[in-house]
Amino acid sequence: MKRYYIIYEGRVQGVGFRGRIMSLARKYDLTGYVKNLRNGKVVCEVQGEKTDEFLKESLEEYYYIRISNYSLKNIDIIEDETQFKLRF
């Protein structure tokens, strides 16, 4: 199991990107959260067995979503986390 801290840059706000991330997290049975940042970027923490598959699919172009850059950091697992959430 892995947990990633990911920051996405590009056309990621106002285009349904957080909803896409929520959908992918459910598809791969992952936990964590996704949140818009004030600087126009989106931050996501994702945890589970299929984090690599999630990451690959999250970087693909999807309708109006365009990722121009991202940063990825491996972070500590949160043992008691049970769901994926949208944070504000």
Per the structure, the count of domains in the chain is 1
17 domain-assigned: yes
Band (87; pLDDT cuts 50, 70, 90): very high
Domain of residue 15, CATH code: 3.30.70.100
7 domain-assigned: yes
9 domain-assigned: yes
**Locate tokens 């589970």: which residue?**
48
User: Catalytic residue among 11, 20, 36, 38, which?
Assistant: 36
In this prediction, residue 67 carries a pLDDT of 97
Is 26 a catalytic site residue?
no
87 domain-assigned: no
User: Catalytic residue among 3, 18, 26, 74, which?
Assistant: 18
pLDDT tens, 29-60?
A: 999 999 999 999 999 999 999 999 999 999 99
- Report percent pLDDT > 90 for the chain: 97
83 domain-assigned: no
pTM of structure: 0.95
80 domain-assigned: no
Asked if 73 and 63 count as a contact pair (C-beta separation under 8 A), the reply is no
44 domain-assigned: yes
In this prediction, residue 17 carries a pLDDT of 97
- CA 57 to chain CA centroid, Å, is 10
88 domain-assigned: no
- Domain membership of residue 40 as a residue range: 2-75
Is 18 a catalytic site residue?
yes
In this prediction, residue 20 carries a pLDDT of 97
Band (72; pLDDT cuts 50, 70, 90): very high
